Structure 1
């Protein structure tokens, strides 16, 4: 397989008075799952459509393995994409939908059966598309994207319509594909799922890059948002001791105090000095949802 690195450089798209994407640059590496995150209107789908030559950029470039999508010799064997729930003729069965694509693209007919099994739709292969649930349509779309055994996968909200079991299946599939050395770029609003799935993150807002890095790097960049959870039978004494150190102390409504502005050892030392008994002392790092909201706060879509 050829190098599947995705490079977005200075990518810009203007629609009349709207800057949907604004001088955006980032890279997506092979062998990893990269989460592409941003609020509604951030420019995620527009970026993916420019990458796939469905929208012409105002400026900048987006390349796959060093080439624009339009210049790829065999794009369907290089890139598999799902930008929306699969659409198909309502009266056609799922397996026949895939066989039609195989015929048109020159893929072996048996690939339809192979990818149907990969996405867990073999029991529904002979059901008509009109009877498919949204989750089944998502699986069928991913099956179609895999027909060419592509090096690169680009998926826009692939978990839409999937139940918890389906979401876990999706996570396992995408991780397995990345482990094979493929490039996997996934946009999603399911932040808790992206924290489990992704190796790397690209976060945009108002068409601009806000943060890029591994999940750990992005989370650690907001380490100042970490808080210490502490429980004590001497709430007033501990609160006084901590506020004297300019820490912020807030009851969490569950019998514990949340402390910001001082680390866990500092809380412990303050409690010892004040003669306060502690029943719990835990550092709570922000989850991806909280980090995402902090990074994108106030960065509404440009109009």
Structure 2
């Protein structure tokens, strides 16, 4: 499978439901060749945004385009955009492979596309099993297989790891990274922030329907310097704590005898220790993780308004 370049551009997307602003003037770009994590608290407007992007919900204002074209205006959209907004739904008595072949027939795709997609998601051994016997994780894989049938340049997934065990989550991560490496545009909504930190190249964080932060993961994490800490170990903890307090740093003792320092970076802590004549046995900078940054950025922001 090969793919061309096709960015997603969301521009001033807005959705009002009577007095509720589910999505409020939201703009962001999802770049080709990268995995972008779409993050937000429950009720933040993520699913509504994805549905507007795919033409399933009519926006109050704004647009979403794929390579400059709205989804509704795409010629044979299955070849441009593959999407999974919930676990795959299929006739309970139909096998996985027949479910995909029905889609191929309706979309004018060759039958072998079903076999190729099923193989890509690792469901070939269960190809002839009936859908009613599939686990939730298998249904997720079947949904992704359906999204890949048209060899799309864009893939949009809403909570794709639901129902997957740790091995399945790792498989999902490897698959999405491989798809992005082929030049595809991959947008993934998820509540698994630890997994998103491993998977995503970029993040778009929203709350109450509004954009809170977007950019490369490393850049977003690096911007929250107030959440970063330094771990330090010394046989002279009282002397070091006193020296660091003079630098307006916050020092806390850990159960293992080490100290955590907030407000200074590792080089500044080391310099303060040197000036105070304090011996150090460990000095490690610990940057905030995505969960800490997410909670800080969305703190106090209601999911819906």
Q: TM-score range by the shorter chain?
A: over 0.9
Look up the match of 1:168: 170
Aligned residue number for residue 186 of structure 2? 184
Structure 1 CA distance, aligned partners of 2:167 and 2:129?
A: 21
Residue 23 (1) aligns with residue 18 (2): no
The answer to whether structure 1 residue 158 and structure 2 residue 163 are counterparts is no
Counterpart for residue 255 of structure 2: 253
Within 2, Cα distance between the matches of 1:198 and 1:302? 25
The separation in 1 between residues aligned to 2:8 and 2:24, in whole angstroms, is 18
2:217 is the counterpart of 1:228: no
Aligned-pair CA distance for 1:272: 2.4
Structure 1 residues 282 and 219: alpha-carbon distance in aligned structure 2, compared to 1, 3 A threshold: same
Q: State the match for 2:60 in structure 1.
A: 58
Could you tell me whether the CA contact under 8 Å between 2:205 and 2:211 is conserved in 1? Answer: yes
For structure 2, list consecutive stretches of 5 or more residues without a partner in the other structure.
Answer: none
Q: Go from structure 1 to structure 2 and tell me whether the alpha carbon gap of 1:284 and 1:73 turns closer, same or farther (over 3 Å shift).
A: same
Q: Tell me, what secondary structure is at the counterpart of 1:60? A: strand
2:43 aligned residue = 41
Which residue of the partner structure matches residue 4 of structure 1? 6
Instruction: Tell me how far 1:31 sits from its aligned partner.
Output: 1.2
Q: Deviations over 1:184-209 (max 9, x none)?
A: 11111111111111111111111111
SS at the partner of 2:304? coil
CA distance in 1, matches of 2:96, 2:180: 26
Deviation at 1:2, TM superposition (A): 5.4
Q: Do the aligned partners of 2:4 and 2:184 also contact (CA within 8 Å) in 1?
A: no
C-alpha offsets along residues 237-284 of structure 1, whole Å, 9 cap, x if unaligned?
211221122211011333211111222222222222333221111111
The answer as to whether partners of 1:10 and 1:23 remain within 8 angstroms in 2 is yes
Q: What is residue 267 of structure 1 aligned with on the other side?
A: 269
On the 8 A contact 1:2/1:65 being kept in 2, the answer is no
Determine the structure 1 residue equivalent to 2:72.
70
Contact kept? 1:38, 1:204, Cα under 8 Å: yes
Instruction: Give the secondary structure class of the aligned counterpart of 2:69.
Output: coil
Distance in 1 between residues matched to 2:177 and 2:190, nearest whole Å:
15
TM-score, with length taken from structure 1: 0.97
- What displacement does 1:7 show? 0.6
User: For structure 1, which segment, 264-273 or 198-207, has the greater mean C-alpha deviation from structure 2 after superposition?
Assistant: 264-273
Show structure 1 runs of 5+ residues with no match: none
